[in-house]
Amino acid sequence: MSDCKKIYFASDIHLGARFHADSLAVEKKFVRWLDSIKSSAQAIYLLGDIFDYWFEYKYVVPRGYTRFLGKLAELSDSGIEIHLFIGNHDIWMFDYLPQEIGAIIHREPLTVDLLGKRFFLGHGDEVDNRSRSFQFLRKIFHNKICQRLYGSMHPRWTFGLAYGFSHSSRKAGLKRPENQVGIDESSEYLASFAKEYLKTNPDINFFIFGHRHVMYDLMLSKSSRLLITGDWIQFFSYIEWDGEEMRLEEFEG
Ligand SMILES: [Mn+2]
* 211 alpha carbon – ligand 1 mean position (Å): 4
Residue 174, pLDDT score = 53
Residues 127-140 pLDDT 10s: 877 777 777 778 77
* 238 alpha carbon – ligand 1 mean position (Å): 15
Residue 186, pLDDT score = 66
* 115 alpha carbon – ligand 1 mean position (Å): 27
Residues 195-222 pLDDT 10s: 999 999 999 999 999 999 999 999 999 9
The residue ranking higher by pLDDT, 78 or 157, is 78
The residue ranking higher by pLDDT, 148 or 116, is 116
* 37 alpha carbon – ligand 1 mean position (Å): 24
Residue 143, pLDDT score = 84
Residues 133-174 pLDDT 10s: 777 778 777 888 778 777 777 777 777 777 776 766 666 555
* 163 alpha carbon – ligand 1 mean position (Å): 15
Q: Which residues surround ligand 1, an ion (CB under 5 A)?
A: 49, 87-88, 211
In this prediction, residues 12-25 reach a mean pLDDT of 92
* 3 alpha carbon – ligand 1 mean position (Å): 31
Residue 1, pLDDT score = 45
- Could you say which architecture CATH assigns to the domain 6-250? 4-Layer Sandwich (3.60)
- Domains of the chain, by residue range, sit at 6-250
* 123 alpha carbon – ligand 1 mean position (Å): 7
Residue 183, pLDDT score = 64
* 170 alpha carbon – ligand 1 mean position (Å): 9
* Helix (H), strand (E), coil (C) string for the chain: CCCCCEEEEECCCCECCCCCCCHHHHHHHHHHHHHHHCCCEEEEEECCCCECCCECCCCCCCCCCHHHHHHHHHHHHCCCEEEEECCCCCCECCCHHHHHHCCEEECCCEEEEECCEEEEEECCCCCCCCCHHHHHHHHHHHCHHHHHHHHCCCHHHHHHHHHHHHHHHHHHHHHCCHHHHCCCCCCCHHHHHHHHHHHHCCCCCEEEECCCCCEEEEEEECCEEEEEECCCCCCCEEEEECCCCEEEEECCC
Percent with pLDDT over 90 in the chain? 63
pLDDT over 70 at 31, yes or no: yes
Residue 71, pLDDT score = 98
Residue 2, pLDDT score = 46
Confidence band, pLDDT 50/70/90 cuts, at residue 177: very low
pTM score, whole prediction? 0.88
